[in-house]
Amino acid sequence: MPTGASPLYYPEQPPPPSRLELENSYFRVKLHDAQAFFQANFLQNADSVIFSSSITSSFQPNSPTQSLHKISTIQRNTPCRLGISTNLTEWLPALPGASLQINIKYTVLQGRPIQKFIDHMQQADLVAKLSLRPDWAVAVKVTNIVGKLLSFLAQEGSQQDLFSLVMDFNVADLRTGYYVVCGSHSDEVWPAPQFLRIDANGRLMERSSDISLSRLSYAVIQVLGLKRLGIEEFRDESWWQLLQTVKENILDTDSTDELERRKLLGEWYFALKQVRESARKRREFLDNEIRDIIATAQREVEQKLRPQVTAEFFGTDDELPYELQDILGIETEQDLQKLVRDYQDALEVSQKLLADYNL
Amino acid sequence: MNEIPQTMALQCPSLTLYAFHLRNSINQGLQPTVSAAPRLWEQLVDLGNVLHIRELQILRQKLICYEGNRYFPEAEDLWGAEYLTLLENNEPSLYFQVPLQAGGLELQGLLCPFRLHDTYAIDLTLCSQDTLTLAQLNYLNPQNLILQNIQASLGKTLLLFGQPKEAQKDNYQVLADACVAQLCPGKHSIHLVDTGSLLGNPIFEYESGLTNPANKLHILVWLKCHDMSSNHMDRVAETLLHLLWCRHKILYVYQQSHWCVIQAKKLYGILEQYRNNYSQVSEKENRRSHLLNLHAKLQQLELDYTNYLDDLTEHEKTITINYINYKTYLEKLEKLPATQLSFCQDFLQYVGNKLQRQIQVDRDYLGMGRDRLQRLKATVRESITTEPVASEPWSGQGSGEQECKSALALQKELHYYGNNTLKINMPGIPRDIYPRLRQALSDCDQFKNHGRLFDFFDANEPLQQWCDDLPEVDNRTERAEKIISYLVRNPRSDGQNNVLILLCLLKDQIDPIKQLYQTLSGLLQELTPILSGASSNSNVVPFPTQTNINSQSLPKAELALEANPKGEPMSSIVADAKQLNCARSVACVSVPQIVSDNLKKIPTGTGWLVTPNLALTCWHVIEARDPRQDSLIRESDLQKQITNSTFTFDFTQPGEGIEYGIERLEHKDVNLDYALLRLRDRTDSPLKKWGFLKLDADVPLTLKTQFYVIQHPKGLLQHRSGGVFVKEASNTKILHNSPTEPGTSGAPVLNAINFRVVALHNGERESEKLREATTIKAILADIKQHRPELYDEIVAVQNPNQE
């Protein structure tokens, strides 16, 4: 008869539409569903439940972020489906050493001193969103606001934490799909993990039917995967703007002179080097996607600057210039073509996935 | 390695056999490959038969080097497949399922067959998705067939890859030892060479003590303890194949060189015997006869001895090239993250310190033998001349003089054969046309049997010369293949193409309403711009039409007249001599490519003398940068490149040629893509002995202007190709259609009439399938404008009377 929070389960579920590949895909954590329940004998005057989260990640190790997701009225012995579907993170790169700790709190308020305020919040559909990227400063501000709000609510009425559901995710082991954590304040029989199932509509089911989910609090976390973000996500990046500016400048130039053309190539590689160095500092993006974006730009410029004549000296094969090899980590023209083609394919798949995710 | 802990296991293990088999050798004579070349494929078919793997059983049908079940390696050459997968349709690999093993184990298989220049190579992998205990590892080598059945002449490497179970993580070497012992039971001579790290995962190298490359076992065990990116793994797979290829070639060639040394030492022993014979001749009666006999023997001995020495030099070069390549591939591998392959570095040291040094020592030692042989031969020759002629002849075959003459004649013949490459006009039938051509020819009645074909060749004067050596085969298709191959290998001296002539003559004997007539006409149209060296304009008809080529309807004199309707120059002995004379002024240019002070490669081009010590070549050859995508060279790199570049003249035989360094870069122009260099003269071999090429800046170029391009394609021996002027590309550049290759850049484009240079070859204009060259007129004008004193220097040499 356990109380508190269960371990994190990865229940049986339909195969997720994408898989996570370390260093080669992004993930996003979403609070898919939640339920709060407490027994009649627990709190006599419980009226509202506040559902909030706090996230600590290796991407911003010293800055946990808090979010307030829902304030809802609640009744004893009646499960309260919070019915939320909120992003807990933005798209983050699946890096081997990264980790994420998600702490979801169910807080019960007694008395009705703030009923009006709650009503107002519900009407306004106020949800504080956590954002780790790209506007980190905004996320910090939101966190501060949420912290103050929670503190204010706590002062207004007497409050009691039902329990905290703490989930530690090591990105290296992270899988796409649904994770479930259960909890109860009083002694309840928890379902065995093998009997938990997520159906095709994303609903949590208990297959043994001996145990009712209706007497438990739980949270269903969904991990989504995406191979590539696409250039729209990079438009505010200074390195992307530099890349675009230099590229467009070259594409607009009409050079008929061989010397001029070679000088343009030199300027382009110099710009690419700057772009690569600047972009490397951005841990919020996959290094591979940055490389893909540069490679795509390189192909455009190369096609513009390619001369009509292929020089016939022997012994250089089809190797890329060494500066380009350093920047892109590939060696041949064929590698470059493959990289750009694969990026286009990955973008196409990602666009379709994004549409399916309906975020 | 004796006690095998059977609790150990590997998850998802795979066993890959990399096997390398010699396809071509210098000793193959006129055959397209060495006789044992197809053995590798036959062994794979046998393996498929034993293991009931259908995909391997029908492997021949999937390889481009087979026509049906018949080995037909010419197809690779015709399709230009020197570094390609050999599967039809450019498929990268052949997947198959291995029939269920004992214990119900499912195995998947993958075969990647390659041709790597002169080698056939395979990557044959068997893998399982299950966790296999050590005892089950043998399933990956069913019935030991992978090791026993596949015998590759250059050698083979086994790579075992798998993920150890968690419990084994502290002692990977014990696991690797155990795996090797399990895979090769009873082979106790296999020992661990060293360990390393590849993509952060441990790798172990094992080797058997055997010396024969075909039997020697080389094993790598790579344990997957951490995840690796698939991109990195793909790069490892590709680079490892090439690295192992170089390794096995080095070891194979070293063994060959060792054999040469043994043979040469035996001959050296015979030399000692001849020396004793010579000292005894003075005591004999018929001294002249004995001396002539001894001289003949010494000549034969010298020929054999020199052959072994030459082979040794060739082997040394091959090892050096493969050493450099191995190093390059190793650098590529070690650029990958968390990769440290000390055993590969040790191998490089072993090659440099042991193998190469040993060959050098052997060569020096045997070189002394050659000197002694030549001295003895000279002494014997001297004795023959001083010996009275009255001595009786040494044998019934004629006088000693005659014998000496016939020996000289033989040498001349050999020399001529060695230079035969000069006549090759680099023909090539595109792979998409070849099957249609073969089919169309085999559909012609003349190809029904050998007799009819012979009669046809004999009856048509343009082909008469080739009728005596027509290859004889049993069926039409094979006959068509052999004829194509035969005609391609035996080009005409008049610049025309035999395949086109054959097509034209066949077409003219068919009723125009027949489909075959249309087919032949279509082929003729497609092949003409490719094979004839004529304009790419499809309206141009390079050969006479029905009325003027049909020998049966016209008198012979008229036929001869009509066979050359464009008045193209015939090849004459004098012209050949002039070409050879021009060729003397043309050199192979080697430029070390230096990037940020680091030597990367040594690309080659062609260059030629415009005065006794000024040479012209392309700027991109000296820059050693690809103008398509490289930025301009840094000044410091350029200086180092110039300092270390060489022009090699008289590079007409392997291992021969005289090198000259560059004194300075006199002038260059990026737009015109030329560089004018002053070469550093040598007192032992003055530059003036190579002469210089005459320039023709003002020649009016027309569609009838024929060109010769003297070149060093792919850095190889000197070649000559022919073509015509097609059109002007700009004020300073022209387009021509002479066949060229990488390495031709900088070659002189000579007017075939007066053997004067009209342009400097730059490269290929791929969109038009034509070659581009900068006109001499533009180059001279540029030099005159920017470096008038150099212009004067050139003009003074070119037109000595003008001053």
**Tens digit of each residue's pLDDT (9 = 90 or more) over B305-343:** 888 888 888 888 889 888 988 988 898 888 888 898 988
Q: Which of B45, B26, B42 is nearest to B118 (CA)?
A: B26
Whole-number pLDDT of residue A229: 92
In this structure, the dihedral spanned by the alpha carbons of residues A331, A264, A341 and B233, taken in order and rounded to 10 degrees, is 20
Nearest CA in chain A to B332: A331
Q: Which residues of A touch B605 (CB under 8 A)?
A: 312-314
Per the listing, tokens 């470096």 go with: B787
Residue B651 near residue B657 (C-beta atoms within 8 A): yes
Q: What is the pLDDT of residues B646-696, one digit of tens each?
A: 999 998 777 778 999 999 999 999 999 999 999 999 998 999 999 999 999
Do residues A109 and A153 make contact, with C-beta atoms less than 8 angstroms apart? yes
| A312-345 pLDDT tens trace | 878 776 789 988 999 999 988 888 988 999 999 9
Number of residue pairs across A and B with CB atoms under 8 Å?
A: 114
Residue of chain A whose Cα is closest to the Cα of B739? A312
Relative to beta strand B770-775, strand B733-736 is: antiparallel
ipTM of the complex: 0.71
Helical residues (DSSP H) of B628-706, grouped into ranges: 635-644
Q: What are the CA-CA distances from residue B253 to residues B26, B151, B248, B366 (Å)?
A: 12, 17, 8, 18
**Partner residue facing A310 (CB), from B628, B630, B746:** B628
The answer to whether the CB atoms of B745 and A313 lie below 8 A apart is: yes
Instruction: Compute the nearest-CA separation of B492 from chain A (Å).
Output: 26
The answer to whether the CB atoms of A310 and B763 lie below 8 A apart is yes
Q: Say whether pLDDT at B395 is over 60.
A: no
Average pLDDT over residues B589-605: 90
Residue B653 C-alpha from the chain's centroid: 14
Number of Cβ atoms within 10 Å of the Cβ of B23: 25
Banded pLDDT at A56 (limits 50, 70, 90):
confident
From CA B14, how far away is CA B126, in angstroms rounded? 6
Contact call for A23 and B626, based on CB within 8 A: no
Tell me if A311 and B630 make a contact (CB, 8 A cut-off): no
Nearest CA in chain A to B730: A256
Cβ B48 vs Cβ B54: under 8 Å:
yes
Closest alpha carbon within chain A to B228: A22
pLDDT tier for residue B2 given thresholds of 50, 70 and 90 = very low
Per-chain mean pLDDT for chain A: 80
Distance (Å, rounded) from C-alpha B474 to C-alpha B460? 23
Distance from CA of B621 to the nearest CA of A (A): 6
d(CA B61, CA B65): 9
CA B212 – CA B155 distance, rounded (Å): 8
Q: What is the DSSP letter of B387?
A: S
Q: pLDDT category, B582, cuts 50, 70, 90?
A: very high
Is a pLDDT exceeding 70 seen at residue B256?
yes
Confidence band, pLDDT 50/70/90 cuts, at residue B545: very low
Q: In angstroms, rounded to a whole number, what is the distance separating the alpha carbons of residues B589 and B662? A: 10
Q: Comparing C-alpha atoms, which of A271, A250, A34, A72 is closest to residue A153?
A: A72
CB within 8 Å of B721: residues ≥ 6 apart: B425, B426, B708, B709, B711, B738, B739, B740
The string of pLDDT tens digits covering residues A78-115 is: 787 777 777 888 899 999 889 988 888 877 776 655 56
Q: Taking CB atoms and an 8 Å limit, are A314 and B743 in contact across chains?
A: yes
CB-based contact A306 B628, cutoff 8 Å: yes
Model confidence pLDDT, tens digit, residues A139-196: 455 555 555 655 555 555 556 666 677 888 899 999 999 999 888 777 777 788 788 8
> Is the Cβ of A22 closer than 8 Å to some Cβ of chain B?
yes
The answer to whether the Cβ–Cβ distance between B629 and A320 falls below 8 Å is yes
Q: Residue B604: its chain A contacts at CB < 8 A?
A: 313-315
Chain B: give the shortest CA distance to residue A96, in Å: 10
H or E stretch at A297: helix A287-305
Inform me whether the C-beta atom of residue A124 falls under 8 Å from chain B C-beta atoms. no
The predicted structure's pLDDT at residue B565: 54
Interior angle at CA A34, CA A30 and CA A38, nearest 5: 155
Contacts of B631 in chain A (CB under 8 A): 262-263, 265-266, 268-269, 321, 323
Residue B138 phi/psi, 5-degree rounding, is -65, -20
Q: According to the model, what pLDDT value does residue A71 have?
A: 72
| C-alpha closest to that of B504 among B524, B478, B530 | B524
Q: Which residue of B has its CA nearest to A270?
A: B631
Whether residue B559 is predicted with pLDDT greater than 70 in this model: the reply is: no
Separation CA B583–CA B709 (nearest Å): 10
pLDDT-derived band at B405, boundaries 50, 70, 90: very low
User: In the Cβ-directed half-sphere of B315, how many Cα atoms lie within 13 Å?
Assistant: 27
CB atoms inside a 10 Å sphere around CB A43 = 19
Q: Measured between CB atoms, which of A172, A315, A331 is closest to B602?
A: A315
Residue A292, H or E segment:
helix A287-305
Q: Of the candidates B32, B38, B77, which has an alpha carbon nearest to the alpha carbon of residue B59?
A: B38
Q: Which residues sit opposite B173 in a β-bridge?
A: none
Amino acid at B510: I
Kindly determine whether residue B764 and residue A312, on different chains, have CB atoms separated by under 8 Å: yes
Q: Which of B348-352, B591-595, B700-704 has the lowest mean pLDDT?
A: B700-704
Least Cα separation, residue A333 to chain B (angstroms):
10
Q: Most B CBs within 10 Å: which of A21, A273, A302, A314, as the mutation test of the B interface?
A: A314
What does the pLDDT look like over B741-756, one tens digit per residue? 899 999 999 998 888 9
What is the SS3 assignment for B451-499? HHHHHHHHHCHHHHCCCCCCCCCCCHHHHHHHHHHHHHHCCCCCCCCHH
pLDDT of residue A293: 96
Residue % of chain B over a pLDDT of 70 = 85
Mean per-residue pLDDT for B288-294? 82
Would the CB atoms of A311 and B745 count as touching at under 8 Å?
yes
**Is pLDDT of B417 > 60?**
no
> Which tokens belong to B583?
């060729």
**Residue the block writes with tokens 């078919």:** B45
Question: In A, which residues are within 8 Å of B760 by CB distance?
Answer: none
Cβ–Cβ gap A265/B631 under 8 Å: yes
Contact B631 A331 (CB under 8 A): no
- Please report the pLDDT score of residue B186 as a whole number: 65
User: Which of A22, A268, A309 minimises the CB distance to B764?
Assistant: A309
Calculate how close chain B gets to A121, using CA atoms only, in Å.
Answer: 47
Q: Tell me whether residues B763 and A312 touch, CB distance under 8 A.
A: yes
User: Are the C-beta atoms of residues B357 and B293 closer than 8 Å to each other?
Assistant: no
Q: Is A258 on the interface with B (CB under 8 A)?
A: yes
Q: Do B630 and A265 touch (CB under 8 A)?
A: yes
Cβ contact (<8 Å) for B627 and A307?
Answer: yes
Which residue type sits at A70?
K
pLDDT value at residue B772: 95
Residue B223, strand partner residues:
B162
Cβ of B630 within 8 Å of Cβ of A321? The answer is yes
Token look-up 């009786």 returns B392
Residue of B nearest to A331 (CA): B332
Determine the residue among B85, B426, B588, B631 to mutate to test chain A binding: the one whose Cβ has the most chain A Cβ atoms within 10 Å.
B631
pLDDT score, position B714: 87
pLDDT at residue B641 in the model:
95
Which residue of chain A comes nearest to B336, CA vs CA?
Answer: A329
- Which residue is it, tokens 């996003």? A28
